Amino acid sequence: MAGLTLVAGAGGFIGGQLVRDLAAEGTAVRAVDCKPFDLWFQRCDEAQNQMLDLRELRACETATKGVEEVYNLAADMGGMGFIERNKALCMLSVLINTHLLMAARANGVARFFFSSSACVYADSRQRETDGPPLKESDAYPAMPEDGYGWEKLFSERMCRHFREDFGIATRIGRYHNVYGPFGTWEGGREKAPAAISRKAAAAVLTGRHEIEIWGDGEQTRSFMHIDDCLKGTKMLMHSDFVHPLNIGSDELVSINGLVDIVEEIAGVRLKRRYNLDAPKGVRGRNSDNSLIRRVLGWAPSIKLKDGMEKTYRWIYDQMKMRAEGRPFVAACG
């Protein structure tokens, strides 16, 4: 088991779940986020919880003191609606990863995980709904998603050079859409699985059986359940594999197909309204999992239907609790 482990971005979706997971395994965890504690999606009493703005080098030095391993999940990010409209904010996350790497080096951190994204892949490879799944080598020649994707690709290379020049064991996971309970489900940063679950739950709760869909609904994606994400992240962190690796599901679904799944779980049929002016991202995206199977002997496998069942129920409960005036309680089990 690792010594003290820092989870950066611990107030967010993946970071919060990772803190809970590591603490349950008995790992000593320092959990850091810039949000006030009452806005953290989950907070774990067993962890050292700290509120720090990791764009600042000083804060990164404090966060990494005495730490053996760092998981960097901190970034200013969201779904397409957010990243298409906030390119500068997305690029400023470069400060977090750069300063965390510098502080990690100064404090003798042994291992460092960076959460990259499928947005590093060029749009030109994602223009068909049924195009070939994305292989890691497809990231070059580079033309990533403007703003968010460029920051991820640049930070991947920063990790690579800190490993080559300064000997920190950096590991890079390219996440493809992650979903599950305790994720963002409203406010403009949510992604398709949470947004569609929220709209379906609202239809059930209000009796207005309609849904707005961004684009024509034929665009395709793959969605990885949070439990697979955590497993892949920890396996990659402790493997010998030093290059960027896809961590994503290869179960391809159209957005219309995702709505079908949620309708079945929610027990409603919704009248679909297509908003063709809304941000819709690339036309088709799937993860090629040949490399992860080869290097980790494993790949994400939780079926979308099973993962969405838990996600929809969680979002429905949040909305029902709110409607009944019961506050959401951030907690760690």
Q: Which amino acid is at 228?
A: D
Interface with ligand NAD, residue 251, by CB under 6 A? no
Catalytic option among 121, 148, 179, 316: 148
Identified binder of ligand NAD from the candidate list 170, 184, 246, 289, rule CB under 6 A: 184
CB 203 within 8 A of CB 268: yes
Question: Is 71 labeled as catalytic in the residue annotation?
Answer: no
Site string for ligand NAD, 66-105 (x = CB under 6 A): -------xxxxx------------------x---------
Report the alpha-carbon distance of residue 15 to residue 21 in Å, rounded.
Answer: 10
**What is the smallest separation between the CB atom of 54 and ligand NAD, expressed in angstroms?**
4
Tokens of 189: 């940063």
For β-strands 220-222 and 252-254, DSSP reports them as antiparallel
Identified binder of ligand NAD from the candidate list 107, 177, 286, 287, rule CB under 6 A: 177
Per 3-state DSSP, the chain is made up of helix, strand and coil in percentages (nearest 5) of 40, 15, 40
**What is the smallest separation between the CB atom of 37 and ligand NAD, expressed in angstroms?**
11
Give 216-282 as a DSSP string. TS--EEE-EEHHHHHHHHHHHHTSS--S-EEE----EEEHHHHHHHHHHHHT---EEEEETTS----
Please compute Rg for the chain using Cα positions.
19
Interface with ligand NAD, residue 43, by CB under 6 A? no
Interface with ligand NAD, residue 282, by CB under 6 A? no
Identified binder of ligand NAD from the candidate list 5, 13, 156, 228, rule CB under 6 A: 13
Interface with ligand NAD, residue 249, by CB under 6 A? no
For β-strands 224-225 and 178-179, DSSP reports them as parallel
Candidates 222, 195, 184, 209; CA nearest to 278 is 195
Q: Return the number of the residue (147 or 215) whose C-beta is nearest ligand NAD.
A: 147
Report the alpha-carbon distance of residue 255 to residue 95 in Å, rounded.
Answer: 34
Interface with ligand NAD, residue 120, by CB under 6 A? no
Residues in 45-64 that interact with ligand NAD by CB under 6 A = 53-55
**What is the smallest separation between the CB atom of 99 and ligand NAD, expressed in angstroms?**
9
Q: Return the number of the residue (182 or 316) whose C-beta is nearest ligand NAD.
A: 182
Tokens of 64: 């990494």
Identified binder of ligand NAD from the candidate list 6, 14, 91, 236, rule CB under 6 A: 14
Report the alpha-carbon distance of residue 257 to residue 204 in Å, rounded.
Answer: 19
Instruction: Report the interface residues with ligand NAD, using CB under 6 A.
Output: 9, 11-15, 33-35, 53-55, 73-77, 96, 115, 117, 175, 177-178, 184, 191
Name the residues annotated as catalytic.
Answer: 148
